[in-house]
Structure 1
């Protein structure tokens, strides 16, 4: 089966985050099953030729043109890509679009409908009701149509399903299926942690450094933790997408900059090395639908602290895989996060949460199980089975 995964953007620092990582992970697993899958996206921030593979996954990247800079990611496209869109779609057996209101994924979804190809949409929490005039115009011009006419719409959480359906209401949305994110199971190595050896603990933030993920709450939690663990180290890792300067300034104002290490973007083995060395992983985001970073942290047995509004919060709370704090979208959640981190640094609580985190991923969020579910959805929407040639070069 020839599967074309269409996602908006890939950069050297993975600045677009979750949707691209999900597309790459699913494509890798589909190819391991004998399917011919490829990722199609814009490439931005590269010096020299655009890569043809990312983490071993075949990709077809076209250099991004910032035609509407005011709209950031939604305002980039590639005339060369759009000129070849029809041939890419016609050479695929199924088109899987990681949809947002933009100038790449929405045109591909519309063209797939026109070509009569099975169309699967995955919104990653990016398409929800809005009062923004331009977004509402885009919905009128195309978003509602593809959400109604697609063969399947994939959602991560019940909240995402309701919000996506509300975009097309009162008309019905296309058949919807839950598909969670998944990661590869990892080895649990609790003996490597500082908390197990009596050394100073390490607290890690590893995600895009942007306002919506609330890295300032990570820093605001530092004073409470340092009061009890003066030698604690806080590691801030991830590409800067607008919030780094303010986050570092806050650390200076709070007098904790000396305990904060900023690493920038990490990739490949570096990510899991840092996750394994951390005692607690913190992602204060109040808007993540289903963070892959949180899943990766739990896959190596690192307890996590998240807010109640993130998609994984119910699973984490139910399993005891970390701590869930209430979280206020525009408030100071630092003290709540600090208390949660301190709880998880207690040896007994840490060991219990570590094993629960590792087990939670193995029981419900492996990429193998996710790929099984995805292939079943593909079959239900009428995609042909069996290996085939790759989509057009």
Structure 2
């Protein structure tokens, strides 16, 4: 079986985050099962020629053209990719589109419908009802059509499925299927010993909805007990927010204890996770963060918010701490207290075991790929009939 994964953007430091990581993880897992899985996407910020493979997955990358800069990632495209889209799609037995309202994935999904190629969509929490006029126009011009006519639409949570169905009305979706995110098995991190200053890590895009300010404002609470603790803020900055966070740390008198290291490559991400004691992601909205899964895959305890899609699993397993998060309040003290609890060596070891076992038992990439491969076979067989 030949499968084409289409995702919006790939950069050397994975600035687009979850969707690209999911596409890579799934493609690698499918290739281990003998499926000819490939990825097409826009490439940006590479020095020299765009690579023809990423982490062992063959890729067709096209240089990103920022035709509508005001719309950021939704406003990039490639005339060369669009010109070749029909040939790429027609050469696949199935097209798996990581869909958003953009000028990359939506045209490829429409091309799959025009060529009669089996189509699976995965929205990653990026498609929901909106009052924005431009987004509503995109829905009218093609998004609703691909949602309604796709052979299957994947969702992470029930609320995501409801959001996608609300966009597709009045006609229902043909088929929905829950597919969780999965990550590869990883080597465990060393146990927290308590004989060295702890490291607390935020590793995600530095953007408003992920509430990095709650990570920074948790610092005084932790430093009161662990004055040598180090706080690492890592990930691509979607604006001047990283500078704002460093300024907030200065106002709180804790600037010497925080470091912003910027975006990291995937191997660097895993190194940072293994060398940390607690991972923190205080997002207001987080459908199913791959970064949380990656943290737990090395046995790193996590502090997450109650509104996250993975939070019930974290709480049930005891893989970390789940805190409230309000967009109109300083949640730093709550986050700080949760960090303190996990810095206790015994509590850290218990949560570490739970996190590593949770990934192995429920969110391994092998189990997710087996589920997806079965869906692919059903979709392709349905087309043949």
Q: Find the counterpart in structure 2 of residue 11 from structure 1.
A: 11
Q: Find the counterpart in structure 2 of residue 97 from structure 1.
A: 97
1:247, distance to aligned residue in structure 2 (A): 1.1
Q: Find the counterpart in structure 1 of residue 34 from structure 2.
A: 34
- Give the unaligned 5+ runs of structure 2: none
Equivalent-residue separation in structure 1 for 2:338 and 2:369 (angstroms) = 34
Alpha carbons of structure 1 residues 268 and 73: separation in structure 2 relative to 1, 3 Å: closer
Alignment partner of 1:381: what SS? helix
CA RMSD after TM alignment? 1.3
Equivalent-residue separation in structure 2 for 1:10 and 1:84 (angstroms) = 18
Q: Find the counterpart in structure 1 of residue 251 from structure 2.
A: 253
1:197, distance to aligned residue in structure 2 (A): 4.1
Q: Find the counterpart in structure 2 of residue 57 from structure 1.
A: 57
1:312, distance to aligned residue in structure 2 (A): 0.4
Equivalent-residue separation in structure 1 for 2:112 and 2:381 (angstroms) = 13
Equivalent-residue separation in structure 2 for 1:278 and 1:40 (angstroms) = 34
Q: After the TM superposition, which of the residue ranges 25-34 and 124-133 deviates more from structure 2?
A: 25-34
Equivalent-residue separation in structure 1 for 2:222 and 2:245 (angstroms) = 17
Equivalent-residue separation in structure 2 for 1:95 and 1:156 (angstroms) = 19
Equivalent-residue separation in structure 2 for 1:113 and 1:53 (angstroms) = 27
1:330, distance to aligned residue in structure 2 (A): 3.9
1:99-118 equivalence runs, <5 A: 99-118=99-118
**Given the alignment, which residue of 195, 198, 202 partners 2:199?**
202
Q: 1:262-285 CA distances to partner (integer Å, 9 max, x unpaired)?
A: 222222332222111111000111
Equivalent-residue separation in structure 1 for 2:331 and 2:52 (angstroms) = 42
Q: Highest relative contact order (Cα 8 Å, sep 6+), 1 or 2?
A: 1
**Given the alignment, which residue of 303, 306, 317 partners 1:305?**
303
Equivalent-residue separation in structure 2 for 1:282 and 1:227 (angstroms) = 18
1:333, distance to aligned residue in structure 2 (A): 1.5
**Given the alignment, which residue of 262, 265, 278 partners 1:280?**
278
Alpha carbons of structure 1 residues 42 and 177: separation in structure 2 relative to 1, 3 Å: same
Q: 1:98-142 CA distances to partner (integer Å, 9 max, x unpaired)?
A: 000001101111110111111000000000010000101111111
Q: Does 1:380 align with 2:373?
A: no
1:287, distance to aligned residue in structure 2 (A): 1.8
Equivalent-residue separation in structure 1 for 2:149 and 2:40 (angstroms) = 22
Alignment partner of 2:380: what SS? coil
Alignment partner of 1:146: what SS? helix
Q: 1:159-182 CA distances to partner (integer Å, 9 max, x unpaired)?
A: 111111111123212300011111
Equivalent-residue separation in structure 1 for 2:359 and 2:55 (angstroms) = 22
Structure 1 residue ranges, 4+ long, deviating more than 3 angstroms after superposition: none
- Give the total of aligned pairs: 381
Contact 1:94 1:383 in 2 (8 A): no
Contact 1:281 1:304 in 2 (8 A): yes
Q: Find the counterpart in structure 2 of residue 84 from structure 1.
A: 84
1:1-393 equivalence runs, <5 A: 1-191=1-191, 193=192, 196-242=193-239, 243-382=241-380
1:383, distance to aligned residue in structure 2 (A): 5.4
Equivalent-residue separation in structure 1 for 2:269 and 2:263 (angstroms) = 9
- Give the unaligned 5+ runs of structure 1: 385-393
Contact 1:251 1:257 in 2 (8 A): yes
Q: 1:77-100 CA distances to partner (integer Å, 9 max, x unpaired)?
A: 011110111111111100000000
1:321, distance to aligned residue in structure 2 (A): 0.5
Alignment partner of 2:130: what SS? coil
Contact 1:224 1:339 in 2 (8 A): yes
Alignment partner of 1:228: what SS? coil
Q: After the TM superposition, which of the residue ranges 68-77 and 340-349 deviates more from structure 2?
A: 340-349
Equivalent-residue separation in structure 2 for 1:240 and 1:316 (angstroms) = 27
Equivalent-residue separation in structure 1 for 2:267 and 2:91 (angstroms) = 35
Q: After the TM superposition, which of the residue ranges 201-210 and 357-366 deviates more from structure 2?
A: 201-210
